[in-house]
Amino acid sequence: MASMHMQLKKLGASIERYGEKHGYKRQMIWRRTLTNNNVWWNKTPLLEVLRDLGAYIRIGPMLGRDTVKNRMERGDGMSFAEFTYPLMQAWDWWMLFKNGCQVQVGGSDQYGNILFGVGAVKTISKNTVLQEDNNPLSDDLDKPIGFTTPLLTTSSGEKFGKSAGNAIWLDKDMTSTFELYQFFVRTPDDAVERYLKMFTFLPIPEISKIMEEQNQDPSRRVAQHALAYEFVELIHGKDEADAVSMQHRQLFRPRTSTAEPTPPPRTASPGNPKSSLSGFVNPQSGNPHAPQTNFANMPSARVTLPKSLVYDKTFSKVLWSAGLVASKSEGQRIINNNGAYVGSRPGVKKNEPGGGMPDDLTFTPIKTWNASKTQEFIIDGDLLILKLGKWKMKLVSIVSDEKFKELGLTAPGWDEVVGKGKEEPSP
């Protein structure tokens, strides 16, 4: 959930910036949130679901759905969990509908589930025994609405996705920006115009001009490069799009090219090298020359550390080992400045039903605590969530020292644990 939260936050900020470029101004209706359905499923009695939904659902129409009918005809059968999936998805929508979520959007393969959900929400709203939730929905503007979008397919009609083995991820840890750019550069000529209309905010007249230039010399792949650049900018921001476009040009430039190499991007001034703050890489440390982190340049959120670098270690050391700070002293200075946070569970006990970190990702300012305090914030024994500022966050996956060594990983402080880097005793 924490990773999804940060990805959605980054994606939303990037889309807003991209939309502004094309004349779309941010509105309050653009607000978004990420909700875990465990919030209600971990405390909703089955009897409540059967009372408000199950009593009004008929088995016949459910058995008549193509997905069910095909499985039954093939003799594969269907588990009860699969059969009740539409019911659970419909109940999810009902819980969100009560809080103002009126529209559900999904791929065309979700048409049946969404249509089932529309009917279920109307039924529950009219028949629930809870008076505060009872609503006949007599006004069409109050009724649930479903939208489906065409699935993205290859030129051969095969859909993209994990099951097909050709998934493209928006998370840079899963698909790098260069791989994402390359994916769209390889778009077939007969699909590139459709993709430009689907995945960019480019005006139709501009797309028409791009396609005219493309048709004059398809080998230059003008449309594919426009598509790749626009999509990377949409997802990861302009700085990433500029960098990966330059990287691609440099890598694939003709050997006969006599043009000057593209200059590297400018970097921020490090400030006065004699200053005691010059080695600090975060503004929260007090270094005014430290680079600012935003949605476009935020580092990878995932890191793996061995138990020996987390358990019974002060937070200043953990921040250093996780790669959030350049040194333990910078970590301590940021803690002193109240600039470091740890994901917390205020008032939630692990052994309570539904226990866990709230979906709004509550964070607690890190103080100069004893080393034993660190483990109180470790979630389920193997996850620690750290944050500096708005965009710099690490989801620390904690593994055993043996597993860390087996994976061939390293981290600041690891050499000391395994005995490397220590001075040999004098003979």
Strands 363-365 and 383-388: unpaired
The per-residue pLDDT for 267 is 45
* Co-location of 238 and 317 in the same domain: no
In the chain, how many domains are there?
A: 3
The per-residue pLDDT for 77 is 83
CA–CA separation, 93 and 143 (whole Å): 12
Residue 266 located in a structural domain: no
* Co-location of 180 and 246 in the same domain: yes
CA–CA separation, 145 and 117 (whole Å): 9
Cα–Cα distances (Å) from 56 to 44, 49, 51, 128, 250, in that order, read 18, 11, 9, 11, 63
Residue 212, pLDDT above cutoff 80: yes
Indicate which CATH number applies to the domain containing 74: 3.40.50.620
The per-residue pLDDT for 400 is 93
Q: Are 337 and 355 in contact (CB under 8 A)?
A: no
Indicate which CATH number applies to the domain containing 379: 3.10.290.10
The per-residue pLDDT for 247 is 82
Residue 424 located in a structural domain: no
Q: Sheet containing 302-306: which strands, arranged edge to edge?
A: 302-306, 392-399, 383-388, 340-343, 363-365
Residue 38, pLDDT above cutoff 70: yes
The per-residue pLDDT for 88 is 93
The per-residue pLDDT for 202 is 92
* Co-location of 142 and 163 in the same domain: no
Q: Domain ends where: 126, 149, 172?
A: 149
* Co-location of 17 and 165 in the same domain: yes
Residue 426, pLDDT above cutoff 50: no
Residue 395 located in a structural domain: yes
The per-residue pLDDT for 418 is 81
* Co-location of 114 and 162 in the same domain: no
* Co-location of 212 and 231 in the same domain: yes
Find the domain containing 58 and state its range: 44-149
Q: Which of 63-77, 152-166, 269-283, 324-338 has the lowest mean pLDDT?
A: 269-283
Residue 353 located in a structural domain: no
Cα–Cα distances (Å) from 239 to 3, 169, 177, 202, in that order, read 22, 19, 11, 19
Q: At 42, give phi and psi (nearest 5°).
A: -80, -5
What digits encode the pLDDT tens for the residues 320-374? 999 888 889 988 988 998 889 998 754 444 444 434 444 445 788 999 999 999 9
CA–CA separation, 385 and 348 (whole Å): 16
Residue 208, pLDDT above cutoff 80: yes
Residue 164 located in a structural domain: yes
* Co-location of 80 and 10 in the same domain: no
Residue 213 located in a structural domain: yes
Average pLDDT, the chain: 81
Residue 27 located in a structural domain: no
Residue 34 located in a structural domain: no
Q: Are 120 and 95 in contact (CB under 8 A)?
A: no
CA–CA separation, 413 and 393 (whole Å): 20
pLDDT average, residue stretch 181-206: 91
Percent of the chain at pLDDT above 70? Answer: 80
